[in-house]
Amino acid sequence: MSKCFSCLSVLLLLFLGCQTIAQNRTEESIQTRFDTPEGYKRVVLKSNTFASYLRHLPLKEKGAPILDFTGQPIPNQNAHMGVIDVSVGSKDLQQCADAAIRLRAEYLWKEKEFDKINFHFTSGHLYKWNDHKKGMRPVVNGNKVSFVKKATFDDSYKNFKNYLNWVYIYAGSISVNKEMDKVTTNQEIKIGDLIVTPGSPGHVVIIVDQAKNDRGESIYLIAEGYTPAQSIHIIKNTNSPSLKGWYKINNNAETITERYPFYTTNVRRFKD
């Protein structure tokens, strides 16, 4: 009888221990970690939207460093206030525009919107996930691109990430700028929009949250990837301490982030 009681006690302790571990592993998201400044409230979002997906992206533990594609910390660890828990890969591919592409593609994958997973190369050629999974691969000869069947059908998530690697190689800030719609007024700017400087090099950041005050003025949280390929991270805003890391974005003014100055605030939006 005493042996049975001991076994039950051990099992109870293990159960309680597992509960404690589970509690300690509670995952933070952009929404739960970052408060809005005084006077601002987050905008209401519909579920299952790209905006809601971005706001609820999981974050690595507080103080997590930005790691490059080799797994090493980058030199500048002072410009971010959170690291999004999304893999970087082991190659120097997922850089600035690619980070935005990755988040958009992951959302569409999650929602099973496979027909919408299509991205243009800088050459202008459209590469579709539905073609890639059927074995079609790009063959590049100078400025000429053709698509040739080189593999068997594979619609796995692993192959989806291989597809994205092809996109990272041949897409960038120039192609993203061309294929997206331009947002022309400040009132239209919302979560999921990008700020783009097209070029080689250019830069791209993505808006991942939005809040408003009683006057209808918006502020935003901004995330980015960078070169070399590294963790997608939430950017600080030390230029406006009262905003607690949030940014005001104005189509008619500069947007100076911690790591890149957008002298022209060119806001773009993924097509539906």
Sequential pLDDT tens for the chain (272 residues):
444 434 444 334 344 444 433 333 458 999 999 999 999 999 999 999 999 999 999 999 999 999 999 999 999 999 999 999 999 999 999 999 999 999 999 999 999 999 999 999 999 999 999 999 999 999 998 888 999 999 999 999 999 999 999 999 999 999 999 999 999 999 999 999 999 999 989 999 999 999 999 999 999 999 999 999 999 999 999 999 999 999 999 999 999 999 999 999 999 999 98
Read off φ and ψ for residue 237, nearest 5 degrees: -140, 80
Sign of CA dihedral 161, 163, 168, 169: positive
User: Exposed, middle or buried, 75 (CB in 10 Å: 0-12/13-18/19+)?
Assistant: exposed
pTM for the complete prediction? 0.90
Which residue's structure tokens are 């103080």? 63
Read off φ and ψ for residue 77, nearest 5 degrees: -110, 20
Domain boundaries, given as residue ranges, for the chain: 32-269
Asked whether the beta carbons of 27 and 166 are under 8 A apart, the reply is: no
